[in-house]
Amino acid sequence: MKKSLVLVSLFVLPIVAYLFFLSGTTNFGKLAILTKNVKEVPPLSDDIRLKDKITILGFLGSDLDSKKANALNLNQKIYKRFFEFTDFQFVMVVPSGTESDVIELKKELSELANVSKWNFVPADTTEINTFYKSLNTDIALDQEYATPYVFIIDKDLNLRGRNDDEDEQTKYGFNSASVADLNNKMVDDVKIILAEYRLALKKNNAQRQK
């Protein structure tokens, strides 16, 4: 009897666990496409693009001091955890004229992490509005061209999120003012999008080796 239990624990349980995680990975690899054909970032930023990148996109507005806590939340909860992944970036759109405030904010963020993948894009307000409308969300920019919400944009310029969220039904973005939203939802969804691309990369590599 004891030998049978030992054999079960050594051979059967690992297989059951493997199948469990395998099935979990299948569900894990799905994140809804909520908007297709998101526009590229405004043209003032020739060296920063969304295409072929996994992007956390935000709009910090003209009063960066009031959004500093949001940026620090993102830095601690999301950026530091994922920035080492290939093709992962942060892009924050700000109105033109805030460049000196951006320098100060980036300096503060750099005290807590390597900020090489924190990108700030200055643009005029018309460009910001046009760009933001292409996301086609139910979230509005405020009078300072800001929102506390950040968005996941995939490599094909699709806005990714949840169409079955238990609280919001359709969840377009994540509230950077809420540590709970970042911890309980955004971390999981960033994991999903990164796992999706890792799986696709493995499949492509396997096909090339055949």
DSSP assignment string, the chain:
-HHHHHHIIIIIHHHHHHHHHHHHHHHHT--EEEES-PPPPPTT-TT---TTSEEEEEEE-S-GGGGHHHHHHHIIIIIHHHTTSTTEEEEEEEETT-HHHHHHHHHHHHTTS--TTEEEEEE-HHHHHHHHHTT--S----TTSEEEEEEEE-TTS-EEEEEEETTTEEE--EETT-HHHIIIIIHHHHHHHHHHHHHHHHHHHHHHH-
pLDDT digits (tens, 9 = 90+) for 34-92: 999 999 998 766 689 999 999 999 999 999 999 999 999 999 999 999 999 989 999 99
Domain ranges within the chain, ordered by starting residue: 1-30, 32-209
Give the per-residue pLDDT at 45: 62
Q: What is the full per-residue pLDDT of the chain (210 aa) written as tens digits?
A: 544 544 444 454 444 443 333 444 334 558 999 999 999 998 766 689 999 999 999 999 999 999 999 999 999 999 999 999 989 999 999 999 999 999 999 999 999 999 999 999 999 999 999 999 999 999 999 999 999 999 999 999 999 999 999 999 999 999 999 999 999 999 999 999 999 988 876 666 655 555
What pTM does this model have? 0.83
Tell me which architecture the domain covering 32-209 has in CATH.
Answer: 3-Layer(aba) Sandwich (3.40)
